[in-house]
Structure 1
Amino acid sequence: MSSGDNRPVALPANQPKQFYRGGASIAALRGEPAAEYGPEDWVASTTTLFGRDEAGLSRLPDGRLLRDAVRADPVAWLGERHVAEFGADTALLVKLLDAGQRLPVHCHPSNEFAARHLGCRHGKTEAWIVVGTTGDDPTVYIGFREDVSPELVADWVSTQDSEAMLAALNPVRVSPGDAVFVPAGLPHAIGEGVFIVELQQPTDFSITLEWKGFLNDADAGHLGLGFDTALGCVDRHGRAGSLDELIRRTGDRADASVDLLGPQAAPFFRADRLHVAGRAELEPSFAVLVVLEGAGELGGLPLRRGSTVVVPHAAGEQVLTGDLVAVRCRPPLVEG
């Protein structure tokens, strides 16, 4: 580990081209020009786009890929307990995601499905922390309203009945401060005008049920598995009566630290919103920090609205000073 690796590091934008529009809110947060098809900023990413060699990976200011720096000295970056459980794997991907149009109905595989069919330890459970909205009806869609048969899901996909798929989901109006936990398998979509900090397991595995009008063809929607196999990962249970278990409304809370996701997310990732007025002490941890408002310093590193920072475990206890609001994202909780 080089001498610079034991301090917080500011990272530039990392926006691999996507199939959908967006990016204006990311640009406004960072104070940089917008890219029409740059709706995702992959922060401190050691994950590539599906099927790609390097696209999606973050680079440190010295030119090294963060992935390679972590592999070279995993304990310094991640800590002994984390490495004992996950090896040289951050077990975390953080994104800024700005939906300039509605995203298609899709879902993600579980750990078990990914291990069986994709040769990967991680599936893709995720969570959305809403940090901004535009338009009159900022909405996300989470899980089917009622139980749905596998035959009906397969029919929707084969006929590309977008209207039926979207109508079958639970619409949820969102505002800044809302946090939504999205377990693997749960079909979902993000509506136009919703700007989030997204935490997820470190893969780019998506089963795109509604591919027409979004992807080039059906083959791009099933991860090379074929839909007969891929649709086996879809959670077809009705969620209308249990949405409250997945959503936290925290916009009115200004505690020094607000737990945004709670214990159900801890096996996958953790997120807190920090409200700093003066000084806050942060325990040692690999972490990704996204500054939403204000300015300050972290271990001597200047911060401003739009700063994105990766913090190695070896940085030790950090002091965050200034007058700011930030989201701190961390890997799964490892007991012991």
Structure 2
Amino acid sequence: MSVQVHPDDQYADESIHKPCGKTECWYILDCEEDAEIIIGHQAQSREEFQQLVNRGEWSKLLQSLKVKKGDFVYVPSGTLHSIGKGIVILETQQSSDITFRLYDYDRVDQEGKKRELHLEQAMAVMTCPHKQVMQDNLKERLKNLESTRLIEGEYFTVYHWKLEGRAQVPLTTGFLLVSVINGMGQIVTKESVSTVKKGDNFIVPATIGEYFVDGDLEMIVSHT
């Protein structure tokens, strides 16, 4: 993955005439030992940033972070980022595909051509100096369900749920997006029983009424 950055809503609207920019987050589902991501940069000013780019001193500029299975990374718009090799993530994001590539490791395709870069746009939208966003990690226990709020932001809220048994979960938002990352269980409503397992993704709609989740399940749950 190239080193890239996404714009905020204002830039997307005013400069590209798109409805929104892109803030995202990653839950690390699996990774190799000593896997790394790029998250942010070390320049203290745009002038220093430009100088390091011009000299190709990427190791001095880019900020790397070792990750492990179960880590969570919040990537607000304006944050330089890249996912290293050997990493599998579950991404929650704004619905946008606007991407500005800053650096692509000088890779070439089969015809010997490098990918297009967007240096001017990337430098226009990046946050400088880089700002580290603190995460929530607020834990709650509902009988057999342990819920950890990973982030509560302007565009989405994301939880990690670990279920051991049966739990009734109140639906306090309009809907829930659920990804099963481990285990097997059932979603039980008055009308139906649905089996879910690792790799399944589903929506809990606002109209579901009373429902239960039953089984040994690990899930990433989000809502707007």
TM-score higher than 0.5:
yes
If each structure's strand is expressed as a fraction of its own residues, which one has the higher value? Answer: 2
- CA shift in 2, pair 1:256/1:238, >3 Å: closer
1:269: how far off? 0.8
If each structure's helix is expressed as a fraction of its own residues, which one has the higher value? Answer: 1
Number of positions where the alignment pairs a residue of Structure 1 with one of Structure 2: 210
Name the SS for the 2:196 alignment partner. strand
The aligned residue for residue 140 of structure 1 is: 37
The aligned residue for residue 153 of structure 1 is: 50
The aligned residue for residue 102 of structure 2 is: 209
Query: Do the aligned partners of 1:179 and 1:249 also contact (CA within 8 Å) in 2?
Result: no
The aligned residue for residue 92 of structure 2 is: 199
Name the SS for the 1:175 alignment partner. coil
Identity %: 25
Unaligned runs of 5+ in 2: none
Query: Do the aligned partners of 1:180 and 1:246 also contact (CA within 8 Å) in 2?
Result: no
d(CA) in 2 for partners of 1:203, 1:196: 18
d(CA) in 2 for partners of 1:108, 1:314: 34
1:286: how far off? 2.0
Please, which of 111, 121, 127 is the counterpart of residue 235 of structure 1?
A: 127
Q: Is 1:258 paired with 2:155? A: no
- CA shift in 2, pair 1:213/1:248, >3 Å: farther
Please, which of 130, 146, 163 is the counterpart of residue 276 of structure 1?
A: 163
Q: Is 1:169 paired with 2:62? A: yes
The aligned residue for residue 97 of structure 1 is: none
Unaligned runs of 5+ in 1: 1-102, 332-336
d(CA) in 2 for partners of 1:314, 1:154: 55
1:248: how far off? 6.9
- CA shift in 2, pair 1:218/1:304, >3 Å: closer
d(CA) in 2 for partners of 1:166, 1:190: 15
Please, which of 111, 114, 130 is the counterpart of residue 12 of structure 2?
A: 114
Name the SS for the 1:301 alignment partner. strand
- CA shift in 2, pair 1:246/1:195, >3 Å: farther
Task: Normalising by structure 1, report the TM-score.
Answer: 0.56
1:309: how far off? 1.3
- CA shift in 2, pair 1:316/1:208, >3 Å: farther
The aligned residue for residue 177 of structure 2 is: 288
1:181: how far off? 1.1
Query: Do the aligned partners of 2:5 and 2:100 also contact (CA within 8 Å) in 1?
Result: yes
Deviations 1:274-303 (A, max 9, x none): 111112223333222111111111132111
Task: Name segments (4+ residues, structure 1) moved above 3 Å.
Answer: 150-155, 214-219, 227-230, 245-250
Task: Normalising by structure 2, report the TM-score.
Answer: 0.81
Amino acid at match of 2:194: L
